Amino acid sequence: MGKLTGQAGIVLSFSLFVWLALIGLATAANEVFLSTDTAESEVTYVIQFDTAVKGNIDKIRIALPPGMNPANAALGRLVIREKIFESDEEDNNDVKLSVDPFDPNALIVDLRNDREAKPGTRIRIELFNLNNPPAGSYAIGVRTIGKKGRV
């Protein structure tokens, strides 16, 4: 069972260069990779972070800047440690991606079953079909959620 123990986040900044910073209990291994940093273009994001606390993860919430068109997003691979999960029929729909019903600029990755995470567990999420927002500074927030709340 998940319990309230902490959070991790990632900050993303757009301009000619992409600058990364950390929020919360995140570690230096937190990164966001973009297929292009061109403003208002279609883009693939790879979000990678290490968990900071121990717990069981049920969902991962990703808060995106306005204008990124999260309703059009497609989940590529989700990697927890070395285990790969995909949202296609060949892998029995291990994971599911949806828009947060309370925030149209946020995505929810439902793991369908709790996954154990220890401090330092590396998680990587591939998101396709997003749009970069106009040039500027933006934040991407990532939060792991257990059955009973944040992990």
CA triple 75-85-59, angle to 5 deg: 70
Per the DSSP assignment, residues forming a β-bridge with 63 are 106, 141
- pTM tops 0.85: no
Nearest-5° Cα angle at 33, 128 to 97: 35
Q: What one-character DSSP code corresponds to residue 133?
A: P
For residue range 69-109, what is the model confidence (pLDDT) as tens digits? Answer: 999 999 999 999 888 887 665 555 678 999 999 999 999 99
Pick the CATH number of 8-150 from 2.50.20, 2.30.30, 2.30.29, 2.60.40: 2.60.40
| Distance in angstroms (rounded) separating the CA atoms of residues 92 and 70 | 23
At residue 7, the pLDDT reads 38
| Annotated domain spans of the chain | 8-150
Structure tokens at 81: 């440690």
